[in-house]
Chains A and B, each alone.
Chain A
Amino acid sequence: MYVAVKGGERAIENAHAWLAEERRGDTAIAELGTAQIREQLSLAVNRVMAEGSLYDPDLAALAIKQARGDLIEAIFLIRAYRTTLPRFGASLPVETGAMACDRRISATFKDLPGGQILGPTFDYTHRLLDFKLAADGEVPEAPSREAATGPVPHVTGFLNREGLIEEAPLDNTPPPDLTREPLEMPANRALRLQALTRADEGFTLGLAYSTQRGYGRNHAFVGELRIGSVPVEMEIPELGFAIEIGEVTLTECETVNQFTGSKTEPPQFTRGYGLVFGQTERKAISMALVDRALRWEELGEDNVGAPAQDAEFVLYHADNIQATGFLEHIKLPHYVDFQSELELVRKLRREATAEQMREAAE
């Protein structure tokens, strides 16, 4: 049975008007500009770009303002906007080895060529509230030092020279695209990486943490973590050559994982890979750990039944827009569904009562 009802229009309009008013808050307080969000809440902007899967800081800032700071709602707005854009093409794969690094650290080598560059990090801060930020104040210019020129080589390259780490051989297979074709199992690594880079940060973090605590342990070291900007190059069909069409800031994490060998692979270090839009370090490390856990099959490891090894479980539950869409739809009217459930429960109770009375009579 399907029953169409009307009557909510005025209530909905009024709810939207109140939402707008609540979004603005106390009008005695200056309104927040999207440029302020872009510049001063940049890590929230980065998360919205990463999980919204669209690199555009101004749009992400607007979405955060519209969503009243609810980042999943902001990601939803970005995903919806993204579907309205015509796609001009795909870029050439970005060269993270040529990154202009703001930050570059290795937990496996102290003295690596190019050095340990801390960058603008929260690490080593004392996590004490800074009440100076509650008052207006000028920030002194950060110190500078003469910078070395030239690209900063990847750390895994050093281990490769000794043959102690698995290679990531060059391959030009066109990757599948989950924004064009539904995500289906089995998912190859390219598809898994696409799903993971836009996956919910909290879900990815939880799964990565579960591998560290023993659910599919893979002994990860952060071989290298780097944050910086890379140019994006695209072939322009009407020109017949490639040009740089812009620059994006990325966070890249390469893990080096202990591996005692398997039926198919010699003992060596293996690798997990995380690459995420923006300065998004927690997410990139989490992605690398989960990527490595999902690689159990191609490395000939045992499936110990850990959640992080289950590609279907991970990939079908990692997208916060799909998840929140299905989760939140249950608050929308289900009057008819519920009516039939109600009928069913009443019927079952009638039958149970009748049964009891019959037993009592016997």
Chain B
Amino acid sequence: MKDALQEDTPRKAWMSLLAKAPEGRAAALLDAAMTRPAFTWLRAPEIGSTMVRARAGATGAPFNLGEMTVTRCALTLATGEVGHAYIQGRRKADAQAAALIDALMQTAMADRLRGSVLNALSREMEAAKAARAAKAAATKVDFFTLARGED
């Protein structure tokens, strides 16, 4: 089932974005942008896990940290494009929307979806991250010297 698509960097970026999107958001943006096309399942949505790994001392030998839930699926459009999704959590509807968007991004619909789905998702998620980072920044300590004892 290996895809022939060579230029995987933009695809990697949109698949990563879709995997991290808040629940229901990608589906809502997709439905607002267009009517969903017909498709057939290559692999119906399936819930499983991924073992998350980390490194000892952050940079050393890898170890198994624990698992996370993941939903995956694969589908093909009537025009032949194959869409995949691997997304965090137990979210079959979101996996379906993510795989559909992945497939549609390989069609002439790509520009439209980039604007109305991917860019919108990316803006929302960056805004949420920035708001959190700004709250963290507000708790940064500004040390000042009261007195120096070296007379």
Seen from chain A, the residues whose Cβ lies within 8 Å of a Cβ on chain B are 49-50, 53-56, 58-59, 82, 85-94, 96-97, 100-103, 110-111, 115-120, 142-148, 154, 156, 168-179, 189-191, 193-194, 197-198, 231-234, 236, 238-248, 250, 252, 254, 271, 273, 275, 277
Residue of B nearest to A160 (CB): B59
- Which B residues are in CB contact (< 8 Å) with A191? 63
What are 28 A-to-B residue pairs whose CB atoms are below 8 Å? A53-B67, A54-B66, A56-B90, A85-B47, A85-B49, A87-B48, A87-B50, A96-B54, A100-B129, A142-B138, A143-B138, A145-B140, A147-B130, A148-B137, A154-B58, A174-B62, A175-B64, A177-B64, A190-B61, A194-B65, A236-B86, A238-B3, A238-B84, A240-B2, A245-B70, A247-B20, A250-B65, A273-B58
* Complex contacts, B135 vs chain A, CB 8 Å: 142-144
* Contact (Cβ within 8 A) B137 A190: no
Q: Do residues A90 and B87 form an inter-chain contact, with CB atoms below 8 A? A: no
B90 touches A173 (CB 8 A): no
Contacts of A271 in B (CB 8 A): 57
With an 8 A cutoff between CB atoms, is B53 at the interface?
Answer: yes
User: Are A55 and B53 in contact (CB-based, < 8 A)?
Assistant: no
Q: Is B79 in contact with chain A by the CB < 8 A criterion?
A: no
Contact B56 A144 (CB under 8 A): no
CA distance A65 to B141 in the complex (A): 38
A300 to B29, CA, bound (A): 59
Interface Cβ pair total, 8 Å cutoff: 231
**Which one of B8-16, B106-114, B115-123 is at the A interface?**
B8-16
Residues in A with CB closer than 8 Å to B2 are: 238-240
Q: How far is the CB of B133 from chain A (nearest CB, A)?
A: 4
**Interchain CB contact under 8 A, B53 and A92:** yes
